[in-house]
Amino acid sequence: MTLAAEHGILLRDSRADARARLTALDVAIAELRVERGVDVADDEHDPEGVTLSVEWGRLTGLRAAAEREVAELDDALARWDAGTYGICVDCGRRIPVERLRARPAATRCVACAERAGE
């Protein structure tokens, strides 16, 4: 398999994984929304339980992160289609293969990412 093909597969697989997480989080949030509406689901006073509000915050935070990841991967796939995937947006050099394997949506090489505070 060529390196280019490997990156294309990695991008598509990463996006599918992120979409699956987003779908699972949507289901969990919907279930929690139902629980929050039930009068008997009062865990606010349970000293050993996680409150519904804390769980809501956790799930919505995870969902926002998954949404950002999907958007970043969509952008990476657009760069892939345009033939600019793997090119640093700052210096124009190739992004190292190891970095792309670790962060498929990376837009900067390591040096430029460090300068940008990523």
Which residues, including other chains, have CB under 8 Å from residue 53's CB and lie 6 or more apart?
A: 44
Domain shared by 59 and 100, yes or no: no
Q: What is the pLDDT of residue 98?
A: 92
Domain shared by 62 and 46, yes or no: yes
Q: What is the pLDDT of residue 6?
A: 83
User: What residues make up the domain containing 99?
Assistant: 86-118
Q: What is the pLDDT of residue 44?
A: 56
Report the amino acid identity of residue 111.
Answer: A
Domain shared by 11 and 58, yes or no: yes
Q: What is the pLDDT of residue 58?
A: 93
Domain shared by 32 and 52, yes or no: yes
- Per-10-residue mean pLDDT of the chain, 118 residues long, equals 81 95 96 73 56 88 96 95 93 94 94 92
Number of domains the chain is built from? 2
Domain shared by 24 and 75, yes or no: yes
DSSP secondary structure letters along 23-39: HHHHHHHHHHHHHHH-T
Q: What is the pLDDT of residue 53?
A: 81
Q: What is the pLDDT of residue 41?
A: 52
